Amino acid sequence: MSTATLNRNNSINALTGTFGANALTPSISLLGFVASEFSKLLRKPVKPAQKLSRAQEAEALRRYADDQNDPRFADDLYAAAARHEELV
């Protein structure tokens, strides 16, 4: 390859922002940074939800049952809510 061809390719690379093997380095570094920050978000402790009483859990299950289209499934949910309240 002649010197003129090499200079022309280098000029094109300089204009397009690509520099051979190092062309992906900034993108990979940015990707690594984003992945690192995202993983930090996943590792942050989450405050536990307030503990519900059995009656509150059963009521939530009944509300869920009211939204169901299948009446047999809703009946099963109501029965499960009743059993849940009876447990000690």
More confident residue, 25 or 55: 55
- Rounded CA gap, 49 and 46, in Å? 9
Give residue-wise pLDDT tens across range 2-29: 555 555 555 555 555 555 555 555 666 7
Q: pLDDT tens, 60-84?
A: 999 999 999 999 999 999 999 999 9
The kind and range of the H/E element at 10 are helix 3-16
Quick count: other Cβ atoms within 10 Å of Cβ 34? 10
Q: Could you tell me the sign of the dihedral formed by the alpha carbons of 30, 36, 42, 47, in that order?
A: negative
**Structural domain spans, the chain:** 54-86
Answer yes or no: are the C-beta atoms of 74 and 65 closer than 8 Å. yes
